[in-house]
Amino acid sequence: MNEAQRLATRLSAIGDAVSDQGNRFYLLQVAGDEQDGYDLIEQVKPDSDLISETLVASGVRKQTSAAYLLESDDDRIVFYADEFNNLGAATYKPSDADQGEWLVDEALSSLDFASVHPSGKISACFTKDTLLVFFQKPDGSMGCLEQTRDGWTPLKTVLPATVPVGSPHYRLVVDEKLQLFYIGDGGSLRYLCRDLGEAPGKDTALCGAVSRFAVGYETEKGVLTAYVLAGGVLVSLGENGDRQDLVRATGGGKFAPVASAERCVHIHINGNFVIRGSQNSFNLGGGYIQKGSRRRIRRY
């Protein structure tokens, strides 16, 4: 697989992350039925081959969205909505004996202020010192929780815009600026940026109707590139509106390069921010982690 094929494969999952070595990726899927309930499953793949499947959480919402944050292969956390529309989280516990296990954060799902709208989506991101999780509450407003030493604390100061109910969304902190991406009315991909603590900036439509998307941030150049999956074609969109078709679906979850795919710029998945979304999910895949920074994923 080339980078475009890998990204298209990842966008077909409800959530994903790349290992800290970049040699495999983690995909989240929902499995089950109405009678026995639904489970959140993690699939580990180096490319197209499946290495293993692990249960992340049971009793999840059938069409839950998921947010996956990875600081290292031993420090991972997944957010989701359970069958009662409560915000849930599971952290990975490594093991020397086998592939490890996922531990559900029971305290989070029991919080009165952590209820998710039945159609609401979930996103999460790292900050310099901690992590934030965003979700749409039952009244349609946006909620945000910060993970601290003592548990989960609600925040109100980092919500600069109103997102349509059910829209995939993601907020990302880059150089003290809050970046917001979401799908607006009509399916358009929209972008907003502001300084932390300031009023919202201009809300810009990047492109027309999309089904799934990712946005890569190239740290050295400070450039954002959007990658849109629409009509079975993965397309790159530069900040100046330049468009390039990369890969096309060939059936069975496979993607083949189009003529221009091998000439595309490298998709910065490892070492840089990569955000992704779909009509059912939105999360951070990979993530820029400054080496030597303190661990930001806590287990209680």
Q: Is the pLDDT of residue 21 over 50?
A: yes
Residue 106: what pLDDT?
Answer: 86
Q: What is the pTM of this model?
A: 0.73
Asked whether the predicted pLDDT for residue 241 surpasses 70, the reply is no
Q: If you average pLDDT over residues 102-112, what whole number do you get?
A: 87
Instruction: Find the mean pLDDT for residues 229-248.
Output: 65
At 23, the pLDDT band (50, 70, 90 cuts) reads: confident
Q: Are 81 and 88 in contact (CB under 8 A)?
A: yes
Share of the chain above pLDDT 70, in %: 55
- Band of pLDDT at residue 30, cut at 50, 70 and 90: very high
The whole-number pLDDT of residue 300 equals 46
pLDDT tier for residue 105 given thresholds of 50, 70 and 90 = very high
> pLDDT-based confidence at 217, cuts 50/70/90?
low
Residue 216 has pLDDT above 70, yes or no: no
Residue-by-residue DSSP string for 187-209: GEEEEEEEETTS-----EEEEEE
- Give percent of the chain with pLDDT exceeding 90: 20
What number is the average pLDDT over the span 214-228?
61
pLDDT, tens digit (0-9, with 9 covering 90-100), for 109-132:
778 889 999 999 898 888 777 888
- 255-286 pLDDT, tens digit each: 666 643 332 222 333 333 333 333 323 233 33
Domain boundaries, the chain: 3-284
Supply the DSSP string of 97-125, one letter for each residue.
Answer: SSS-EEEE-HHHHT-TT-B--TT--EEEE
Question: Is the CB of residue 199 less than 8 Å from the CB of residue 193?
Answer: no
User: What is the pLDDT averaged over residues 29-53?
Assistant: 87
Cα-Cα-Cα-Cα dihedral sign, residues 171, 174, 178, 183: negative
CATH superfamily to which 3-284 belongs: Fucose-specific lectin (2.120.10.70)
